[in-house]
Amino acid sequence: MNNHLRILQKFWKNKKVFITGHTGFKGSWLTIFFHILGAKVYGYSLRPEKDSLYNFAKIKQIVRKSYIGDIRNYKKLKASITKSSPNFLIHMAAQPLVRDSYDFPKYTYEVNTLGTLNILDILNEIKFLKSSLIITTDKVYKNNETKKHFTESDELGGFDPYSSSKACAELMCQSYSSILAKNNISCVTARSGNVIGGGDFALNRIIPDFFRAIKNKKKLVLRYPNAIRPWQHVIEPLFGYILLLMLISKKNKNFYGAWNFGPNKGNNVKVKKIVSLLNSQLSQPIQIKEKNMKKKFYKESILLKLNSNKARTTLGWKPKFNILKTIKLISDWQNHFLKNKNEILNLCKKQIINYISEY
């Protein structure tokens, strides 16, 4: 067994971890990660979509208790956390799509902002849960489309409702930190890049859209082909979240503030580059159709980069996968998925364990 994996398992064995949004793409991967480490996972989330990593990997079988509920339901959420009595909490439940935030702005704010408020107030009320992590996004920054890499101290903003709602959540966490500190409760936030990986089936995301285009034998429509994003495999930031929780639980003081978990500079590439790399894995590349969005109401940032020096120097965390390795892992996952859906859980476990072994 890898020594690093052994150290992680020694810390996390039988620790109780409560994850909101555990049925989602990132939440499913994180649940598998903690299962490998021997933690007892409790989840609170909406019912998973029929086509989801949660269902295909049969993640329900490895969760100690799964509560199906809306993050806006304060009473049910509090009862679920209290009954689980966890050592750690990770809040991931969200409306995660920029495009959907334009179509459903009120719902987006209610889930992403008021849902986070529910978590913060529950932490303040129950008091026994001392280590918590709120997941936001790299899109919380006020983005003027410059070439700078955003640091945690940069100004927050957000043009679209999704980005704005997450920035609001960050501000609430900042305000609550002094309140929670009175009871020695640590509550930090994490901002990762554009997370990609096997098992994402969401609409209006480049990776699942690509594989749907193959399945449906249609052209792939690119809304912003020249947009530059900090692409990273889903395992990378999740490992950072785990290291961060370990750090704050070992310190005899209150922790707060934001942490960036972004990829290496070489992973900051255009959307059309990602498609090109995916196409290179195919014997017959799919056709592309670029869609002019300049006159549309919907607006997304064109350039976005993160500075993760804080996580590198304090946690010893650093991204390991370059963009070629990331795309290769996704293609391998998809190929296995098409051949044998019953092996998806083991495939995810294998990719996680291999990642840890490289540290």
Q: Which residues on neighbouring strands pair with residue 306, listed in sequence order?
A: 150
pLDDT digits (tens, 9 = 90+) for 194-224: 999 999 999 889 999 999 999 999 999 998 8
C-beta separation of 196 from 231 below 8 A? yes
Q: Given pLDDT bands bounded at 50, 70 and 90, which one contains residue 57?
A: very high
pLDDT of residue 255: 84
The mean-pLDDT minimum among 2-6, 42-46, 213-217, 305-309 falls in 2-6
96 or 144: which leads in pLDDT: 96
Percent of the chain exceeding pLDDT 90 equals 81
For range 74-90, the mean pLDDT: 98
- Non-local (6+) Cβ contacts of 160 within 8 A are 98, 101, 102, 139, 298, 299, 300
Over pLDDT 70: what percentage of the chain? 96
Q: Return d(Cα 6, Cα 359) in angstroms, integer.
A: 12
pLDDT surpassing 60 at residue 293: no
Q: What is the pTM of this model?
A: 0.95
Fold of 3-357: Rossmann fold (3.40.50)
Q: Is the pLDDT of residue 323 over 60?
A: yes
Do β-strands 88-91 and 16-20 pair in parallel, antiparallel, or remain unpaired?
parallel
d(CA 245, CA 205) in angstroms, rounded, equals: 29
- Sole residue written with tokens 């509090």: 78
In this prediction, residue 295 carries a pLDDT of 46
- Residues pairing with 260 in the sheet: 191
Buried b (16+ CB within 10 A) or exposed e, 76-97: ebbebbeebebbbbbbbbbbbb
Dihedral of the alpha carbons of 157, 162, 167, 168, in degrees to the nearest 10: 120
What is the structure's pLDDT at 199? 97
Average predicted confidence (pLDDT) for the chain: 93
State pLDDT tens for residues 163-202.
Answer: 999 999 999 999 999 999 999 999 999 999 899 999 999 9
Alpha-helical (H) ranges within the chain are 3-12, 25-37, 53-56, 74-84, 98-103, 105-109, 115-126, 161-181, 206-216, 235-250, 271-279, 309-315, 323-339, 344-357
Token couple for 227: 């947009």
pLDDT band at 251 (very low <50, low <70, confident <90, very high): confident
Q: Are 304 and 254 in contact (CB under 8 A)?
A: no
In the chain, what are the domain boundaries?
Answer: 3-357
Lowest mean pLDDT segment, chosen from 107-111, 155-159, 269-273, 309-313: 155-159
Confidence of residue 69 (pLDDT cuts 50, 70, 90): very high
